């Protein structure tokens, strides 16, 4: 690890890092409703189509609403749902939006106040979280989703693209996130320093640059090591 000596940018994962879903709508819930309306569709079929749209279709077409997103999922499954059925599915999905973690506003504001360039890095469609992040949107220079990158987050292209947009090199950035593979191991292979956000205390000793139990701790770690490099 370079001890964040040259840090100019801080990248944040979205789900599990900045936002969470409380009582998230499940495939089973949607499947049960569709079946009650006469559309035979299993939860596994729905899950598969949902993943396809999330990781393949959204990066290509950038759907801007639950309606267009859900319409694509049903199209993939050859299900021609009537307007009322689609309306009710959309209402259900919209009724349970993402929420900000309590530590997010203070942490990201401090990051920006310190002078770092900042970005969110996620595959998740922008419309799903744009209202949730309104209180913190001003603290981010860029929001990178699968559509802006043209790929899902497991493709290194997403990280390389956000670094290009921010105008920094890999060793000048640090990534904070809760997914060991996508937020730690992948960016590390590109030369990006990483902080594993372990909100639930599940870290089992994998070799990582740093581990933080909350976002404030992760940001403080970044600021502390960056300050030490200036002294």
CATH number at residue 108: 3.40.50.1000
Q: Are 217 and 225 in contact (CB under 8 A)?
A: no
Question: Does 1 reside within a domain?
Answer: no
Q: How far is CA 102 from the centre of its chain?
A: 17
Shared-domain flag, residues 82 and 102 = no
Positions of E strands within the chain: 9-12, 19-21, 98-100, 117-121, 142-144, 173-177, 193-197, 211-212
pLDDT given at position 149:
97
pLDDT given at position 231:
44
With a cut of 70, say whether residue 227 has pLDDT above it.
no
Q: Rounded to an integer, what distance in angstroms lies between the CA atom of residue 45 and that of residue 161?
A: 33
Residue 82: CB atoms within 10 Å: 10
Query: Residues 43-47: what's their mean pLDDT?
Result: 97
Q: Are 20 and 190 in contact (CB under 8 A)?
A: no
Shared-domain flag, residues 60 and 164 = no
Shared-domain flag, residues 68 and 148 = no
For residue range 102-130, list pLDDT tens digits in order: 999 999 999 999 999 999 999 999 999 99
pLDDT-derived band at 200 (thresholds 50, 70, 90) equals: confident
Shared-domain flag, residues 76 and 115 = no
Q: Rounded to an integer, what distance in angstroms lies between the CA atom of residue 145 and that of residue 129?
A: 11
Shared-domain flag, residues 76 and 111 = no
Shared-domain flag, residues 179 and 137 = yes
What's the structural domain count of the chain? Answer: 2
Shared-domain flag, residues 165 and 129 = yes
Residues 6+ apart with CB under 8 A from 51: none
Query: Residues 77-98: what's their mean pLDDT?
Result: 97
Q: Rounded to an integer, what distance in angstroms lies between the CA atom of residue 222 and that of residue 217?
A: 9
- Percent of the chain scoring above 90 in pLDDT: 87
Q: Rounded to an integer, what distance in angstroms lies between the CA atom of residue 164 and that of residue 18?
A: 23
Shared-domain flag, residues 216 and 107 = yes
Question: Does 3 reside within a domain?
Answer: no
Residue 58 structural domain? 27-94
pLDDT-derived band at 201 (thresholds 50, 70, 90) equals: confident
Shared-domain flag, residues 133 and 31 = no
Q: Rounded to an integer, what distance in angstroms lies between the CA atom of residue 209 and that of residue 159?
A: 18
Residues 6+ apart with CB under 8 A from 114: 223, 226
Task: Evaluate if pTM is beyond 0.85.
Answer: yes
Shared-domain flag, residues 128 and 209 = yes
Question: Does 2 reside within a domain?
Answer: no
pLDDT-derived band at 205 (thresholds 50, 70, 90) equals: low
Q: Rounded to an integer, what distance in angstroms lies between the CA atom of residue 69 and that of residue 104?
A: 28
pLDDT-derived band at 6 (thresholds 50, 70, 90) equals: confident
């Amino acid at each position: 690890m370079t001890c964040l000596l040259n840090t100019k940018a801080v990248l944040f994962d979205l789900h599990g890092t900045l936002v969470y879903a409380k009582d998230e709508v499940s495939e089973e819930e949607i499947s049960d409703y569709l079946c009650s309306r006469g559309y035979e569709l299993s939860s596994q079929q729905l899950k598969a189509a949902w993943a396809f749209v999330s990781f393949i279709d959204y990066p290509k077409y950038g759907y801007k609403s639950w309606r267009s997103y859900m319409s694509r999922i049903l199209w993939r499954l050859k299900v021609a749902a009537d307007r009322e059925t689609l309306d009710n599915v959309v209402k259900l999905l919209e009724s349970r939006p993402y929420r900000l973690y309590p530590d997010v506003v203070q942490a990201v504001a401090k990051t920006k106040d310190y002078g770092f360039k900042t970005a969110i890095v996620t595959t998740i469609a922008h419309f799903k979280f744009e209202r949730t992040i309104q209180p913190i949107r001003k603290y981010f220079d860029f929001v990178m989703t699968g559509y802006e990158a043209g790929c899902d987050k497991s493709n290194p292209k997403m990280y390389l693209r956000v670094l290009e947009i921010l105008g920094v090199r890999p060793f000048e950035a640090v990534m904070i996130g809760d997914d060991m593979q996508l937020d730690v191991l992948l960016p590390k292979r590109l030369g990006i320093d990483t902080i594993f956000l372990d909100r639930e205390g599940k870290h089992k000793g994998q070799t990582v640059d740093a581990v933080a139990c909350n976002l404030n701790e992760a940001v403080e770690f970044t600021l502390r090591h960056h300050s030490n490099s200036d002294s």
